[in-house]
Structure 1
Amino acid sequence: MATNAPVHTGRHFLQIPGPSNVPDRVLRAMDMPTIDHRGPEFAKLGFEVMESCKTVFRTSQPVLIYPSSGTGAWEAAIVNTLSPGDKVLMAETGHFAALWRALAERFGLDVDFLPGDWRSGADPAAIEAKLTEDKAHQVKAVMVVHNETSSGVTSRVAEIRKAIDRAAHPALLLVDTVSSLGSITYEHDGWGVDVTVSGSQKGLMLPPGLSFNAISEKALAASKANKMPRSYWDWSEQIAANKSGSWPYTPATNLLYGLKEAIAMLHEEGLENVFARHRRHGAATRAAVKAWGLEVLCRNPEEYSPVVTAVLMPEGHDADRFRQVVLDHLDMSLGTGLAKVKGKVFRIGHLGHFNDLMLMGTLAGVEMGLELARVPYRTGGVLAAMNVLTGKEAAAA
């Protein structure tokens, strides 16, 4: 039958900011027969992944693994530490901060939402001012998205922790690292985070389906005193089952095989090398955007994301039409703009199992797409990125 659909050869380029490309090694590791999740073979795997997760979160405290998306881990963080009516402080850094706020409000939390323009991270000074004013300590938690994939902005969590400490405030610090864990420098213990939320499908290089809560002693104490109903997400039940290498329900057994392999790959490269690689790729991508005469959404160089770059379209041009041209002609998926930046930005994902040649192919595809879609731009973006990657030109901030 005749068709007008383009026929593509080669591999599809998946350059959205998550789910990211899954390495062949991880796919092969998951290709295992189903085993008894109550038996000794599985318990060995369970203990291994529980311990190895601590090395990525950089914590000596428990890391709980749920068979869910990151949204489930958001919910787990809330229902285990807070009670209906509790006041929490959040910052509008993008779409995912807004979604976490909506989830918090569904559980009856009183959310003080610091407004933002989606071009900056959470402001440590604004958080400090709010907490300093809160003499009665009504705020029970500060909740921050570390890396906003919707806007390409990374908040300065270590500085936010210092701001909380300067205010001498007892609020818990809850941080979403769904798109940053395993890609951007992060220290659960070192930064004094109480609950770190994450997911499997980005820096951890797995398919969607696993989520995580890394928890401090302070958070664990809060979970024993709060009054929020919970069952599936209850930390105490999972901690009790984890002591025997098990879960209180059927776990995602084959994803755990993949998790073990993915963490092994991160350590083979070395976490500091992984973080440096992502910073290089972010810098090279921004060099390309600048050379094209376009603008990145993030305003503050200190907050540029190493894992995703959100690019503003020129006035009068629709980002989703551009993305469709790229998909149709070049078989490459770029990230869409979300919510209030829909149609205004496209997002280039450069995270996870990724290297210099993959980035150059991605940026060549973007430059070709700008030409094909008749978007006004200057040539030379690919060369600018190449100069950064080869060290010919120093990477800009």
Structure 2
Amino acid sequence: MLERLFHLTANGTNPRREIIAGLTTFAAMSYILAINPDILSAAGMGKEGLVTVTALAAGIGTLLMALFTNYPIALAPGMGLNAYFAFTVCGAAGIPWKGALAMVFWNGIIFLLLSITGLRTKIAESVPPALKIGVQCGIGLFIAFIGLRNGGIIVKDNVTFVRLGELSNPSTLLVLTGIIVTFALVHKKVLGGIIISIFLVTMIGFEIPKGEGMVTVAPDSIWGLPSGIGETFFALDILYPITHLSEAWKVVIALLFVDLFDTIGTLIGVSRQAGLVDAQDRLPKMGRALTSDACATIVGACLGTSTTTSYIESAAGVQAGGRTGMTSITIASCFFLALFFGPIIVIIPPEATAPALVMVGVLMMQGVKNLKFDDLTSLAPAVVTMMIMPLAFSISDGLAIGFIVYFGTMLLVGKWRKVSLLTAALAILFFFFYVLNL
């Protein structure tokens, strides 16, 4: 039966190798079970229910990828987009989380239509590589900044806007120590280094004072039945983006493009490593993979989480020998099993997830090496994009300014013919919206 479903022999693998690969990927990305609830709870949703939602969204999304494509690729709520959802869309913009979930839902619907029609890949190819890199690195800085802020290492200042926190504070010192340990574990390529760091900081937190209590609060039980999902299950205000179009459209565009770049980059990168691409470096089932990703986002929004997307950590499982959907089935099973350990996951404090956020941000910055430093028409817009995102505390604002600066620069230096029609149209649209307030 396994042979018929996953074609193990044809892919040069076996059940044991696939299971080990699945466990490897889960260990590499399981940190999302702690981080996603911690981030999204800032939008006003209950943390306990978000643990259930995160595990379900990851499990269902990964299962869809396994059944539709037979690829060893895992999905879960995406880093960066969850922070954008909680801190920018719901926080700074004041949009209710039910309305924000509806934006994620419609983003998934648009994504699905683009995937079915084949336009999704063409759109991604029409955006200049420099802007893609700028968006990726900008999100990395955005995530790292949130980690430093949540950990108390960076705090608000009325004169200089931000300043260094009190490192003599035991909880802040714990975060700094956690960052250093996380860097060391990941550098040494320790399997599950990020989740190990989260575990260590959480355990030490039982002994570190914070306010009138401790950093980590003891759980009532070790395991329990999944709970709390009733608050967010199909709670999205599906008409909100339509009735509030003026504030919703730029959010949907940001979600669309970030997910677009992230998903295609992950699919190609992981599939290339697994030897799944053809002689033209194309993924045979790209359409199915993109459709699976879009469906996962739609399902995730209905459950109550931000955009669900393909994870680059899938490469860890591929490196361990994963080649088929059986790897993804194993990963999905682990996420479904995690549903019963909510009482433990929910006590993980921000001090434990902050180092993980910084680490993920650093890893996302690695794309900067692919920028053309001798070409200012590419370098400058990318750098502006990655600076605006953390400083304006908005992925959509960084994306918009990046397009405007890129098109404006190419126009003035006489290279406007090299700009794709889509890039020019978006730059003009963003210019009218941001500069002329139309």
TM-score by length of 2: 0.26
Between 1 and 2, higher relative CO (CA 8 Å, sep ≥ 6) is seen in: 2
Q: Going by fraction, where is strand more abundant, 1 or 2? A: 1
Pick the structure with more helix per residue.
Answer: 2
TM-score by length of 1: 0.28
